[in-house]
Structure 1
Amino acid sequence: MKSRRQFLQLSAAGAALLPFTRLLVPTLLGKARATAKSSGINKPVVVSTWDFGVAANEEAWKVLSAVDAVEAGVRVPEADPKITTVGYGGAPDREGRVTLDACIMDEQANCGSVACLAHIMHPVSVARKVMEKTPHVMLVGDGALQFALASGFPKENLLTPESEKAWREWLKTSQYAPMVNIENHDTIGMIALDSNGDLSGACSTSGMAYKMRGRVGDSPIIG
């Protein structure tokens, strides 16, 4: 186990590297863009996770800008009540509350994310608003909800009858031993390369089924 001194030393080292990281990421993206433009890759390209990503890809293909494409694509599973790991109809926490996480990054390494966001069907779009309209990268919980409502997003009940039924069945034992499978683990991740060679990405999830209230996974974490 690390001592407090070791922890502080590591934290200080990480903080010292932050300015270099901010310079490095745009440089790497610029090199990736140049490589894409000169490689002869047929563009645009859209890639996403899991079989429900097919419908997301089809929607993303309709959009010319990479960042617009990943937002439009991710919104598809977010609105699909049959997908219990993303958005509307996502599995709730152990208190029966659906909370969502999402992030987005554009071709200039600008990024935004939200975590533990309740009552908003499209967290990826809220994350984009965070990226474009605030000086911050991440908003969480009640603050994220307040920002979303102020930005014009409607407040909605995200718990479907099917997800509520599954949650009430889980309550009979309240055993939390999540398996790594599509039913309770994964999410939608998408990247898009547009005709200009610009690369963007987005991710959205409802998190682990029956998680503790306030739990945030890795999906909305930038970097």
Structure 2
Amino acid sequence: MDRRRFLQGATIASGVALAAKGIAKAAPATTAAGMVPRVCSTWDFGVAANQAAWKVLAAGGRALDAVEQGARVPEADLRNHSVGRAGYPDRDGKVTLDASIMDENGNCGAVAAIEHIAHPISVARRVMERTPHVLLVGDGALQFAIEQGFPREELLTPESEKAWHEWLKTAKYKPVANSEVRSYNAGPGGTPGDASNHDTIGMLAIDAKGNLSGACTTSGMAWKLHGRVGDSPIIGAGLYVDNDVGGATSTGVGEEVIRNVGSFLVVELMRQGRSPEDACREAVERILRKKPNAKDLQVGFLAMDKKGNVGAWAIQKGFSYAVCDAAKQDALIPGKSSY
């Protein structure tokens, strides 16, 4: 009995020592590649979005607040023609926006085909928190947003309108992988109407408490049929978060993501033990196995696991993602690809 008490006492003492060093079980989980808190997002415009989100996380804030604040940055950026108020219109000249948001408790909200509202990500959060619904669309989403105090605005900018009139000369539509990012990088001096595809910003964050949240927002495909909705506002397709496992988001041609419930698939693959990168790769390759001609399009997935490890994979080269944590606030990483 004396020996047993001695061993028990030694175990307790060891636990106290570990806690004093900050590496007891109660501490946030980290690995060589992961860090808590941390935020990641798709594409190069994710760098500025991450920096806004990081202000929330660095102050001990909630991941949900971080991703909302981060997503609002590209929504307000007039250079960005694939997200928010400066998004290119549909073939009828109407700017319609989609967004979704999801928290650590599985709560989620979304809006689709909403017009005249500059920050659909914040409307999506209101849907989550103030209604019994998950998704509001079109005129109903607009009515709800106005009732919630969001200002009604004209979103078609002169630059976007000029690009639309240029497109009308041929009225041809063929998605070109990563073309929206090339137009964005060109800045205000880029050729109007040179982007026939689109790219979404998807964000994932883990806060100091180890809780995950995600957000996704887009103006959808330029020159799309009026009423077209892609994967971004569809929970499980463009965004999915499971606080026990991790989160995932997507970018690219939404129809292919919806057909494979892509973000949910990535999270389930992580649940089975796959790393974030391996899970994203399998989701991409599943799309290609089912539809080989999808290799001519672009679809990318970004994932973060419960420890803050981040990984991504895309069909084609050109996809990039941004990661922000205490060590670095402006890391832009080229995504790996199948082609």
Provide TM-score, normalisation by structure 1: 0.82
Corresponding residue of 1:10: none
Corresponding residue of 2:219: 206
Number of residues of Structure 1 aligned to a counterpart in Structure 2: 190
Letter in 2 for 1:59: A
Corresponding residue of 1:51: 44
Q: C-alpha offsets along residues 175-202 of structure 1, whole Å, 9 cap, x if unaligned?
A: 1112121413211000000000000000
Partner residue of 1:149 out of 135, 146, 150: 146
Residue 80 of structure 1 deviates from its aligned partner by 0.5
Aligned residue for 1:153, secondary structure, equals coil
Q: C-alpha offsets along residues 27-54 of structure 1, whole Å, 9 cap, x if unaligned?
A: xxxxxxx999444553210000000000
Task: State whether residues 98 and 220 of structure 2, in contact with CA within 8 Å, keep that contact through their aligned partners in structure 1.
Answer: yes
Percent identical: 68
Task: State whether residues 36 and 197 of structure 1, in contact with CA within 8 Å, keep that contact through their aligned partners in structure 2.
Answer: no
Q: C-alpha offsets along residues 61-120 of structure 1, whole Å, 9 cap, x if unaligned?
A: 011210000000000000001000000110100010000000000010100000000000
Going from structure 1 to structure 2, the CA distance change for 1:35 and 1:179 (only over 3 Å counts) comes to farther
Q: Which runs of 5+ in 2 are unaligned?
A: 1-24, 181-196, 237-339
Going from structure 1 to structure 2, the CA distance change for 1:146 and 1:36 (only over 3 Å counts) comes to farther
Corresponding residue of 2:128: 131
Provide TM-score, normalisation by structure 2: 0.55
Corresponding residue of 2:137: 140
Name the CA distance, whole Å, in 2 between partners of 1:205 and 1:137: 17
Name the CA distance, whole Å, in 1 between partners of 2:48 and 2:27: 25
Task: State whether residues 60 and 72 of structure 1, in contact with CA within 8 Å, keep that contact through their aligned partners in structure 2.
Answer: yes
Aligned residue for 1:93, secondary structure, equals coil
Corresponding residue of 2:16: none
Letter in 1 for 2:47: V
Going from structure 1 to structure 2, the CA distance change for 1:181 and 1:38 (only over 3 Å counts) comes to closer
Which aligned runs of 4 or more in structure 1 are off by greater than 3 angstroms? 34-41
Name the CA distance, whole Å, in 1 between partners of 2:49 and 2:232: 17
RMSD over aligned CA atoms reads 1.5
Task: State whether residues 29 and 210 of structure 2, in contact with CA within 8 Å, keep that contact through their aligned partners in structure 1.
Answer: no
